[in-house]
Amino acid sequence: MDGPDAQTWRRLLRRSPADAGLSSLYGPLLTSERPGERLVLGRIAQSLDGRIATTTGASSWISGPDDIVHTHRLRALFDAVVVGAATVRADNPRLTTRAVEGASPVRVVLDPDRRLDARFQIFQEGPQTLLLCAEDAAGPDRLGQASVVRLRRAGNGFCIEAMLAALAARGLHRVFVEGGGVTVSRFLAAGALDRLHVTIAPLLLGGGVPAFHLPPAASLAEAMRFEWTVHRLGADLLLDIPLRRPPA
């Protein structure tokens, strides 16, 4: 797959008073230099104090309705949407584009030890689904309606580059990493994200699950520092962060 066609893009980006600035937000995602060129975007929605879920794990939805539409638009603009097993367990998501026009992407669930079962709706209905598990994980080659893809272990998960190569081999070059925080953080730490969208909702949780799980910086000079563009999504703020310089 090479992403949505121009007609789909025009429908997705049709302007309205509530959608000012769509071209600047989505424009960088709409073109690639070559067919099959890789594009990987990560997304986090967090509270003002940097939490993506409460202490009990509640997370749907921290952000408001405009950010939900934004997330569905991103799904429509990518070949595949990736989530970790913890996100499936906590939110039981469908990962479809039901809030916008455009085709739903292939859904990719990362579950190295294969602890999920077929009761979750992502394995029961909807678009094509891939379950990525470790080579030594027990179980058949399907889980509900999902096809199982086996990858070599790397630490507690997979080698990110090997995972992206496995998706590319199936024609999935444009990859949207939707969550959760551990999964997005692993892509970020591996240098595999081209872009990061961070939505900040105007609420304080006082505790809960942190948005990012990264090795601590020894000094401010060693910390990751970004440039970003800020967009308003209803009551929320979206930070659009480019992570790679475009090829010359």
pLDDT value of residue 14: 53
Tell me, yes or no, whether 173 lies in a domain.
Answer: yes
User: Helical H runs in 109-211?
Assistant: 160-168, 181-189
Q: Which residues pair with 82 in a beta bridge?
A: 108, 177
Q: Which of 29-43, 61-75, 144-158 has the lowest mean pLDDT?
A: 29-43
Averaged pLDDT of the chain: 88
Whether residue 64 lies inside any domain: the answer is: yes
Within-domain flag for 199: yes
Asked whether residue 248 is domain-assigned, the answer is no
**For position 7, what pLDDT does the model report?**
56
Burial track 202-236 (b if 16+ CB lie within 10 A, e otherwise) = ebebeebbbbbeeeeeeeeeeeeeeeeeebebeeb
Question: Is the confidence at residue 146, as pLDDT, over 50?
Answer: yes
Q: Does the pLDDT of residue 117 top 50, yes or no?
A: yes
**What backbone phi and psi angles, to 5 degrees, belong to 135?**
-60, -35
Residue 133: domain span: 39-208+230-242
SS3 150: strand
177 in any annotated domain: yes
Confidence of residue 1 (pLDDT cuts 50, 70, 90): very low
CA 156 to chain centre: 19
More confident residue, 54 or 134: 134
pLDDT mean over 78-84: 96
In whole angstroms, give the CA distance from residue 78 to residue 108: 12
What is the structure's pLDDT at 28?
86
Nearest Cα to Cα of residue 202 among 235, 230, 169, 171: 235
Q: Is 185 a member of any domain? A: yes
Higher pLDDT, residue 128 or 2: 128
- Tell me which DSSP letter residue 145 carries: T
pLDDT at 81 over 70: yes
Six token digits for residue 169: 């081999």
Whether residue 92 is predicted with pLDDT greater than 50 in this model: the reply is: yes
Residue 120 has what pLDDT?
Answer: 96
Element (H, E) at 241: strand 236-242
pLDDT at residue 8 tops 70? no
pLDDT of residue 65: 94
CATH number, domain of 143, equals 3.40.430.10
Global pTM reads 0.90
* Mean pLDDT computed over 168-176: 96
The structural domain count of the chain equals: 1
How far is CA 18 from its chain centroid?
24
Mean pLDDT of all residues in 111-117: 95
